[in-house]
Structure 1
Amino acid sequence: MPLYNRYTTTATTTPISELTTTLKPLSDSARDELDRMAWTALFIGGVAGFVLSEYVFSCNPTQPPIHPLGNQAGLQWTLSDGDLSSAVVVNLAASTKTARVFSYYLSRKPGSSAPLGLLQVTSAVSRIQEADRNLSTSVPSKVVAYGDVDSKESAEWLASCRPEKIVIVDFGGRGNALKDTLSLIKNTAEVQGCKVVIVQVGNEQKVYSTEEIIAGQAAMAELGKVQYNTSGVQDTILETVGPEPYFATRGAQWEKWLDERHLSEPGTKIVFGSGVSGADGVEGGWERLCHGQVGAEEGLVYKVQ
């Protein structure tokens, strides 16, 4: 994917030899520089969240919204499709890195173009609630566990937002998360007439059987899901906006996120390794991942010289 075929270079005030050494403690400024680079590497998927919020659901009058697959797909995506001002956004798998970045930028849209509410469905309710308290915005937010998606409380909150449209962004919700969300809408009288849009960003992380893959493809058509492809959208941005202004804007917005990273991602910690082979290198980290030994709060980042 073209998205991952780009290197990010970072100018530092501390020599690289000092940032990568293990022989002496780093100064506070050097530690912060290294930490920011590590978070940027760890959250490369955050680009998908930023692009989805700012370009697919564009609120910039000089930047028309882009179809989730990009212009090369040849599919229509109108100003109305990109407008969230009368919508509630449902974020499935809200604790994933891409979803967290998406929610961050979505919640900071200008008042006239911000959504009416954000329903975040996750297995990490307390962590996202803490992030919401740390970084309050004007967009009402509700965080629910997977088992509470179609609860009475969720229905009352959804109805109170009085939406005309409900946009479900599925970052890989577990089990019946999407089915339960559609059931919530169907069984809540106040929102039964809403337009429902489903944007498919990712899938639940598990091993799929052939039958499950076929069923998933059928569901795409049956539910009218719109597939999202970050590379396709970014390629369109580069063609229409140009590389220099796009990367300048993205870089500036990312610096704002980095300034608030510990508030937006409470509990997340960087775990540094070194090199490719061995227990302390990428090899060891991959083994840990394969055996389910990496905690949800850990971010593995490797220094390679």
Structure 2
Amino acid sequence: MTPIHLVSKHNNAQTKTGYIDQSTLPPLQESPSSVRVRTQLISLSSNNLTYALAGDRFGWWSAYPVPAGTKLKSAESQKDTSTDADLDLNASWGIVPAWGYALVSESTHASIASGSLLWGFWPTSSHSFDLTLASFPESDRQPDSHFREASPHRANLMAMYNRYVLVSPSPRLNLDSDSAAQTVLSRPVFECGVLLEKYTLHRHRFTHPLGLPRGAPANTIPGVPAWGEKDADLRKAVVVSLSAGTKTARSFAWMLTSERSARGELETEGPRGLVQVTSVPQTLADFAAGDRRKTKLKVKNVGYGREELRAVVEWVRRLQEEEGVERVVMVDFGAAKEVTEALVEGLKATAEGGGDRKGLDVLGLAVGNESKVYSGEEIQARMASGQALGKVQFNTSGVRDRAAEVEGATAYFDGVDEAWKRCYTETGLGEVRFERYHGVEGANGIEGAWGALCEQKLAPNTGIVVRLIS
């Protein structure tokens, strides 16, 4: 019996383990685009909590429905403990997807041989499952190694979650290596950092944070403002990164400092300063180290203490006086709403004592949530706080779609891959650690890993890597 990790759709901290008899799997469908796959190596992070929290709204629960025939059993006795209420498991339970590698065990696809390794969005389980991987139309100018999942039940998923990449025709990559672990841990969110810096917060591209077409009117989506060159202009701005210890925030910081400097754009395009707020400031990358990463950008790393946050406000105020800073772009990667509210209030307020010092224009981008299981009341409060502060939500998939249209898909994906290689070589994310887990069951498997994630037992610079099948 093969174990499957199931998460409650009503209380994401509650889990069960289902079991399925894989010996009864039907033959692989006789179509030119069918592959049978098993997950090999994945990572778990706060993103997976988001997939569970908003699984119905964004279709993440539908990526991998609980297979028919799954039973809830005791792992020790294998005694069937299913009840009538358990028969339709998908009504209350789901499989949370995760990024990483999977191995093709069978294939009818002319371009994907049995034994091939694929990169993509996989179930947090070790059971075999089938995908329908179609080629992209030639007019899309997509890389030959990229395929799209075309199953009807996944039609509502955003495009990036239906994209699969052929890594190699045979599993030459060592999935037990540290480089593979760091890739599954950081590469999925690294792309978000690329899109933020190079497309959304760049005045020559100014891609809308939701991925709306350029020039879309403000009422395209009710309550969502338009986005233009002025919004993306960092020439007289300070960027404040909240929850800067997350891998997404580290990726953005590396792009904003190292890559923008290497492109010769830092002095001409800004920003004038970068503030990184995190509980682990000592683990952030030193962007003054190394020839290529030398930058004149002023960087301030602080914790969440009250005095430290006050110091941030004064530091930004000094840049306002000395360098003509006019605005603050606050990028929230998952800080507590109280932190955001306190900083916005301090930055917007006109300085006591009058004079020429003015309140700063503050623009907020919402990228991530806290690494926790939210109650309904908590998520409503966070959304209300974001709306009150005028935050604009960032959508990685939508911005990626627009970027690929502008650059051409092959050029875009090649560029992201090359940037990731440079970042990894430079240790550009700073001190990022990982804990290894194995299989589905027990404290050392996905069961234990999910518990550690839900209970916030991991430091912000530590992630989870799970080897499902050795």
TM range (shorter): 0.7 to 0.9
Take 1:20 and 1:143, find their aligned partners in 2: how far apart are those partners? 34
- Report what 1:242 is aligned to: 408
Preserved CA contact (<8 Å) 2:437 2:467: yes
Preserved CA contact (<8 Å) 2:236 2:326: yes
Change (3 A) 1:55 1:274: same
Q: Does 1:51 align with 2:195?
A: yes
Q: Displaced runs of 4+ in structure 1, greater than 6 A?
A: none
Q: How do residues 26-65 of structure 1 correspond to structure 2 at under 5 angstroms? A: 34-43=177-186, 44-58=188-202, 61=204, 64-65=205-206
- Specify the structure having the higher radius of gyration (Cα): 2
The one-letter amino acid of 1:78's match is G
Change (3 A) 1:291 1:218: closer
Take 1:35 and 1:7, find their aligned partners in 2: how far apart are those partners? 22
Take 1:107 and 1:114, find their aligned partners in 2: how far apart are those partners? 10
Q: Which moved more, 1:110-119 or 1:72-81?
A: 72-81
Q: How do residues 254-273 of structure 1 correspond to structure 2 at under 5 angstroms? A: 254-261=420-427, 264-266=429-431, 268-273=432-437
Query: For each residue in 1:83-123, what CA deviation from the matched residue of structure 2 results, as whole angstroms up to 9, or x when unmatched?
Result: 11110011111111111111111123222112000111111
Query: For each residue in 1:48-75, what CA deviation from the matched residue of structure 2 results, as whole angstroms up to 9, or x when unmatched?
Result: 122111110125x4xx220000125754
- Report what 1:93 is aligned to: 243
- Residue aligned with 1:302, SS: strand
**Superposition deviation, residue 41 in structure 1:** 0.9
Take 2:404 and 2:229, find their aligned partners in 1: how far apart are those partners? 20
Change (3 A) 1:298 1:204: closer
Among 409, 417, 423, the residue aligned to 1:251 = 417
Q: Does 1:3 align with 2:160?
A: yes
- Residue aligned with 1:301, SS: strand
**Superposition deviation, residue 278 in structure 1:** 4.9
Change (3 A) 1:120 1:3: same
Take 1:277 and 1:14, find their aligned partners in 2: how far apart are those partners? 25
- Report what 2:299 is aligned to: 141
**Superposition deviation, residue 253 in structure 1:** 0.9
Take 2:388 and 2:457, find their aligned partners in 1: how far apart are those partners? 37
Take 1:223 and 1:299, find their aligned partners in 2: how far apart are those partners? 30
Structure 1 gap ranges (5+): 22-33
- Report what 2:332 is aligned to: 170
Take 1:236 and 1:52, find their aligned partners in 2: how far apart are those partners? 12
Structure 2 gap ranges (5+): 1-157, 219-225
Q: Does 1:157 align with 2:322?
A: no
Take 2:425 and 2:433, find their aligned partners in 1: how far apart are those partners? 15
- Report what 1:194 is aligned to: 360
Preserved CA contact (<8 Å) 2:237 2:273: yes
Among 201, 208, 223, the residue aligned to 2:389 = 223
Among 101, 104, 107, the residue aligned to 2:254 = 104
Matched length: 284
Preserved CA contact (<8 Å) 1:150 1:184: no
Take 1:5 and 1:304, find their aligned partners in 2: how far apart are those partners? 21
Question: TM-score, structure 2 length as denominator?
Answer: 0.54
The one-letter amino acid of 1:285's match is A
Q: Which moved more, 1:207-216 or 1:75-84?
A: 207-216
Query: For each residue in 1:208-267, what CA deviation from the matched residue of structure 2 results, as whole angstroms up to 9, or x when unmatched?
Result: 444443333333333222111111111122233321011011111111111122x5322x
Preserved CA contact (<8 Å) 2:274 2:299: yes
Higher helix share: 1
Alignment RMSD = 2.9
Take 1:8 and 1:36, find their aligned partners in 2: how far apart are those partners? 18
**Superposition deviation, residue 124 in structure 1:** 1.0
Preserved CA contact (<8 Å) 1:164 1:191: no
- Residue aligned with 1:88, SS: strand
Query: For each residue in 1:270-300, what CA deviation from the matched residue of structure 2 results, as whole angstroms up to 9, or x when unmatched?
Result: 3334444455443443344345444544332
Take 2:452 and 2:373, find their aligned partners in 1: how far apart are those partners? 18
Take 1:248 and 1:37, find their aligned partners in 2: how far apart are those partners? 19
